């Protein structure tokens, strides 16, 4: 198996009868998802995506990625939330921490914009691009989100300034809804190359659609392998019963723990290039489950770094935490500890080990300390950092989190809370059509 769940760190927290007792509920939640009988089932198309994606669109993505690689030193990917985190997570997972610094012969540097309104960040990025050749992939399902729309204006202006309107239009790649939204309409009007975010797939479940696939392909990664890995997961996880299904087991255990008061889950890794895997997972879990004033609060940590900061709280702070560690069995690289006769640093005892062994031993030591300190621990092991394993891991988490949502009696596929702030921002900035809302906010302010 490319991805496995180990629950040894739950021994003193979950008794064997508890899994049996929650099993029928997990099965029901899984059926709601897989049979499309749950709330907002129309947003569950990602469940069968690895089997059903459009091969023509897939080839168009590869062609666009090739064009970008050939004519651009930099690709600016504009998007926020589900239109950003999946691609960023995938690039880091597959290529490591220093991808953008490792030469641009075969792939462009890939930077992200439109996930912040910070003028400093945006100006810095414009400066980094300088007068080099670049293209833009702007991604927004609604096509109206303020942050990416603003960033798009700014980078579009730079493209036009540099290349003129006609050539600029050829360097703009749009990923948006098939039929509606300002971005969709502009793409038609200007003849941009466009890709479709399928109707039945929401932002946080969209990394295996053109949303993630175009930037991932442009980075030189193999998107066929990525989809094959996701397909392997679909075959292994969609229909397998709870006791043979690590994704469902993960959903079951985190919900057993949640119901006992372990309301915060920390997704952890000992690999810095998995930092954005946790950021992606936080959106997936937080936007799916945090509704009706309930749901596990998703957070994250990178170890060893955070052992020297959050580690204290995890060991001895409030006992409402559970930990899920994602470990890569075979890391992309390994290093030996160099021999040194003088042994001034006292590390001689490590000379026959590798950094990976020490890293994994740190993980073991932490699990013992934290479980003794009252923090339940689950371990998700991913085989390696290949495209296929990433595809599998994406499906593993998406499936588990959507099942968790149904298990907790909420709608896993909406995000009314996110919409609230978007509408308020439109109203406060004076967008036409939001006058009523603006009045309401002003009245609330004056109370």
Q: Report the interface residues with ligand PA5, using CB under 6 A.
A: 80-83, 140-142, 145, 148, 202-204, 287, 415, 418
Look at residues 241, 247, 210 and name the one whose alpha carbon lies nearest to residue 227: 210
In angstroms, the CA 21 to CA 28 distance is 13
Active site (annotated) includes residue 1: no
Residue nearer to ligand PA5 on the CB measure, 81 or 331: 81
Catalytic hit among 287, 327, 387, 398:
287
Phi, psi of 340 (to 5 degrees): -150, 110
Extract the tokens encoding 143.
């096509």
Active site (annotated) includes residue 287: yes
Of all residues in the shown chain, the one whose CB is closest to ligand PA5 is 203
Residue nearer to ligand PA5 on the CB measure, 44 or 202: 202
Residue nearer to ligand PA5 on the CB measure, 364 or 420: 420
Q: How far is CA 357 from CA 207, 354, 362, 363, in A?
A: 32, 5, 9, 10
CB atoms within 10 A of CB 272: 14
In angstroms, the CA 410 to CA 330 distance is 37
Q: Please, which residues bridge with residue 294 across strands?
A: 291
Look at residues 108, 101, 123, 104 and name the one whose alpha carbon lies nearest to residue 74: 108
Residue nearer to ligand PA5 on the CB measure, 85 or 321: 85
**In sequence order, what are the residues at sequence separation of 6 or more whose Cβ sits closer than 8 angstroms to the Cβ of residue 314?**
266, 301, 321, 323, 370, 373, 375
* Residue 241 DSSP one-character state: -
Q: Please, which residues bridge with residue 133 across strands?
A: none
Extract the tokens encoding 119.
């003028």
Residue nearer to ligand PA5 on the CB measure, 84 or 250: 84
In angstroms, the CA 430 to CA 425 distance is 8
Report the alpha-carbon angle 119-123-125, nearest 5. Answer: 120
Q: How far is CA 210 from CA 116, 194, 417, in A?
A: 22, 10, 25
Q: Please, which residues bridge with residue 77 across strands?
A: 112, 137
Residue nearer to ligand PA5 on the CB measure, 10 or 80: 80
Enzyme catalytic residues: 287, 422
């Amino acid at each position: 198996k490319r991805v496995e769940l180990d629950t040894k760190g739950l021994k003193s927290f979950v008794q064997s009868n508890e899994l049996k007792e929650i099993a029928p509920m997990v099965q029901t939640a899984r059926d709601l998802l897989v049979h499309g009988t749950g709330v907002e089932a129309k947003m569950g198309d990602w469940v069968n995506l690895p089997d059903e994606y459009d091969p023509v669109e897939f080839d168009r993505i590869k062609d666009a990625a090739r064009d970008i690689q050939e004519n651009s030193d930099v690709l600016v990917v504009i998007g926020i939330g589900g239109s950003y985190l999946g691609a960023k997570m995938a690039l880091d997972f597959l290529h490591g921490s220093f991808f953008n610094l490792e030469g641009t012969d075969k792939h462009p540097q890939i930077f992200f914009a439109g996930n912040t309104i910070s003028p400093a960040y945006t100006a810095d990025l414009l400066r980094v691009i300088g007068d080099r050749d670049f293209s833009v992939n702007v991604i927004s399902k609604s096509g109206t989100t303020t942050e990416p729309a603003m960033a798009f204006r700014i980078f579009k202006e730079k493209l036009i300034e540099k290349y003129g309107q006609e050539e600029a239009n050829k360097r703009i790649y749009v990923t948006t809804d098939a039929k509606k939204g300002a971005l969709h309409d502009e793409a038609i009007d200007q003849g941009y190359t466009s890709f479709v975010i399928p109707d039945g797939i929401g932002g946080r479940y969209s990394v295996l659609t053109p949303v993630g696939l175009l930037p991932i392909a442009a980075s030189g990664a193999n998107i066929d392998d990525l989809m094959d890995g996701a397909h392997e997961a679909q075959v292994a996880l969609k229909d397998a019963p709870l006791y043979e299904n690590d994704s469902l087991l993960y959903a079951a255990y985190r919900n057993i723990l949640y119901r006992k008061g372990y309301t915060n889950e920390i997704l952890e890794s000992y690999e810095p290039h998995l930092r954005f895997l946790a950021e992606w997972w936080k959106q997936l879990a937080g936007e799916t489950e945090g509704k009706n004033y309930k749901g596990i609060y998703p957070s994250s940590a990178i170890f060893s770094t955070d052992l020297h900061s959050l580690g204290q709280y995890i060991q001895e702070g409030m006992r409402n935490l559970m930990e899920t560690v994602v470990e890569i069995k075979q890391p992309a690289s390994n290093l030996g500890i160099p021999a040194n006769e003088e042994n001034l640093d006292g590390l001689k005892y490590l000379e026959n080990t590798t950094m990976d062994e020490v890293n994994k031993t740190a993980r073991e030591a932490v699990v013992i300390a934290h479980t003794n300190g009252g923090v339940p621990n689950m371990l998700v092991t991913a085989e390696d950092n290949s495209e296929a394993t990433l595809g599998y891991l994406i499906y593993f988490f998406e499936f588990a989190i959507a099942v968790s949502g149904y298990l907790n009696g909420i709608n896993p596929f909406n995000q009314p809370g996110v919409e609230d702030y978007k509408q308020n921002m439109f109203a406060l900035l004076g967008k036409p059509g939001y006058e009523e809302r603006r009045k309401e906010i002003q009245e609330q302010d004056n109370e």
